Amino acid sequence: MIRTIVNEAGDEVGQTTLDGTLIKGHHQIDAELKLHHKLFFRTSGALTKINCITIDHTAHKITLAVDGFSRA
C-alpha cells in the first residue's frame, strides 16, 4: 500500500510505503519543509497531519509522527 504525502494546498509532494520507505518526492518534501509548509497524508480522501518528519537521504527512509505517535 502506498501513502500519498500532500501539502497544505492538496498538491501531491511525495509517496511512501507503509514501512516508511520513500518512493518519490524527497526533494519536493525538503522544499516544502524549508518553506515551513504543513504536510499531510491523504488516505481515501481524508487528510492526516504529519507532526514531525525526518528524512534519511542515504537510505531513502522517512520517519514521521502522526497524532503524537512515531511511525517508521
Residue extents of the structural domains in the chain:
2-71
Give pLDDT, residue 16. 81
pLDDT for residue 55: 67
Closest CA to 50 of 1, 17, 8, 21: 8
Q: Give the count of beta carbons closer than 10 Å to the beta carbon of residue 43.
A: 11
**Cα gap 27→36, rounded to integer Å:** 14
pLDDT of residue 18: 75
Low-confidence residues in the chain, pLDDT < 50:
68-72
Distance (Å, rounded) from C-alpha 62 to C-alpha 23?
10
pTM: 0.73
- 3/71 Cα distance (integer angstroms): 13
